[in-house]
Every structure is written in structure tokens, then in C-alpha cells.
């Protein structure tokens, strides 16, 4: 682990971690907003990822939505990386109080983290729009449980199943936002990693931090670098590697 970061963590009692797509890219989950992801979407579908992942598009073009969603947002074989494991260990030690994530892959929980606020939901949770029956990711991916257009259907009532993922045009879950704000407001150290801090409203959560140490770990610069006590421009798994 980076020595400067280790010193701050050792002196902190209430750490909150706020993370974005860069935390999961080291688990081989690509950022769909990247140049490559944008190019791939335009080439195959003639549309931007943002358009295809909007509520309007989901309602109007479910077949195309699910085709894109299953190919580009589901990575069932992905495993937690060094950053996920380091954060789970810090939580187990009582140092880390919460994780606030923009990711939808469930890798923090897979690594062992318990108190995770998933701002944008999770691909692991799916619900029938008609009767609200829960469906697992395995059921969503099973062609036998979808109609002829590839749209998952409810095992109970036959209704359309929607991922518990916050699409563009949809609001964030109020309880999740309130929990994240509460955690950040009471932290003495806020570590932000793998996010460019340009996606709102999630990026706005940083303004609730009143603690002592603001740490930014990202490969590229962010709008908040000048406000941070420590800025590290590197891969977050490398920076947080507990074996280094």
C-alpha cells in the first residue's frame, strides 16, 4: 500500500470509501463510458450507451436494451481485485465504516464488505414490474426464462422483469442516498477512488464531507484534486495492495 495512504489510514477511525468504474476495471469489467465502449456501442447499435441505458429506451426498445445490457453490463465470472479485498479487510478491522459505490457488479460484497451503498443499484437484483417477484442474475441470463425477443419474464406472473439498476432518467434510491450522505458526513477520512467525479448526482456527495483527510486515487485528474489532502494518479488496486 502507498505509504502516504497507509499513514492516513493508520491515523483514522472512521473511513468512508467512495468508488466508481475504475475500481472494477482491474477485475476486467470495462467502463462502458470509455472511448472503446462508446465506439463499440455506436458501431453495433448506432446509439450511445447513455441512450440505450435510459428508462425511455428500456420501455420502448426492450429487445435491444436487453441485448446490449446482457453483452456489456454482465460479468458473472468477474472476481474482486486487490482494492475490493483491501476495503473488506479495513471494514473487518473496524476502520472502514461504509462503501459508497457507483458500480453495479456486487464485487464489494463478493469480497466480504457488508455496509455498501450501491447508488446505481445492482445487476444481481431483478424484479418483476408487475408483481415485484425477485429474480436472480442467473434467471435473467437464462434464455429459457425469456420470451422470443430475449426479454426476461416473471416465473410467477409472466410480467416483464427489470434489473434493479438505476437507468438514465431515473432517480436514485432515497434511502441509499441518505445512508451514503450520513456516512460521508460522519467520516474523518474520505477515500475516493476510480472515479472522475463528473457524474451527478453521485459526484455531489463529496460536498457533505467535513472530516480531516480527503484522498483522491484516480488514473486521471479530477475537478476536486485541488481540494484533496492527498492525490495519487495510479491504478487503485496497485495503490491499495496490502501485500505491497
- Residues carrying an active site annotation: 120
* Residue whose C-alpha is closest to residue 199's, from 10, 9, 53, 1: 53
DSSP E strands in the chain: the ranges are 15-19, 96-101, 116-118, 121-128, 134-135, 161-165, 189-193, 213-217, 230-232
List the grid coordinates of 91: 471494514
DSSP code for 132: -
Rounded Cα distance between 51 and 168, Å, is 8
Quickly count: other Cβ atoms within 10 Å of residue 63's Cβ: 13
No. of helices (H) and no. of strands (E), the chain: 11, 9
Rounded Cα distance between 136 and 159, Å, is 15
Quickly count: other Cβ atoms within 10 Å of residue 172's Cβ: 15
Q: Are 68 and 41 in contact (CB under 8 A)?
A: yes
Rounded Cα distance between 23 and 18, Å, is 10
* Residue whose C-alpha is closest to residue 79's, from 31, 154, 24, 145: 24
Burial of 39 by CB count in 10 Å (0-12 exposed, 13-18 middle, 19+ buried)? Answer: exposed
For residue 96, the SS3 value is strand
Amino acid at each position: 500500500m502507498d505509504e502516504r495512504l497507509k499513514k492516513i489510514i493508520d491515523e483514522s477511525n472512521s473511513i468512508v470509501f467512495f468508488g466508481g468504474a475504475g475500481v472494477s476495471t482491474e477485475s476486467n469489467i470495462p467502463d462502458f463510458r470509455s472511448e472503446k465502449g462508446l465506439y463499440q456501442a455506436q458501431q453495433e447499435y448506432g446509439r450511445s450507451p447513455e441512450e440505450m441505458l435510459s428508462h425511455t429506451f428500456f420501455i420502448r426498445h426492450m429487445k435491444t436494451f436487453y441485448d446490449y445490457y446482457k453483452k456489456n453490463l454482465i460479468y458473472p465470472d468477474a472476481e474482486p481485485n486487490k482494492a475490493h479485498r483491501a476495503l473488506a479487510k479495513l471494514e473487518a478491522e473496524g476502520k472502514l465504516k461504509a462503501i459508497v459505490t457507483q458500480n453495479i457488479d456486487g464485487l464489494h460484497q463478493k469480497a466480504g464488505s457488508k455496509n455498501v451503498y450501491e447508488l446505481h443499484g445492482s445487476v444481481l437484483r431483478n424484479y418483476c414490474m408487475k408483481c415485484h417477484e425477485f429474480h436472480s442474475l442467473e434467471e435473467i441470463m437464462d434464455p429459457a426464462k425469456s420470451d422470443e425477443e430475449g426479454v426476461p419474464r416473471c416465473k410467477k406472473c409472466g410480467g416483464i422483469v427489470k434489473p434493479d439498476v438505476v437507468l438514465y432518467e431515473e432517480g436514485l434510491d432515497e434511502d441509499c442516498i441518505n445512508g451514503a450522505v450520513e456516512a460521508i458526513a460522519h467520516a474523518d477520512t474520505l477515500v475516493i477512488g476510480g472515479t472522475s467525479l463528473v457524474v451527478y448526482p453521485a459526484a455531489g456527495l463529496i460536498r457533505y464531507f467535513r472530516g480531516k483527510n480527503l484522498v483522491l486515487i484516480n488514473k486521471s485528474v479530477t475537478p476536486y484534486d485541488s481540494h484533496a489532502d492527498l492525490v495519487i494518479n495510479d491504478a487503485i488496486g496497485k495503490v491499495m495492495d496490502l501485500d505491497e
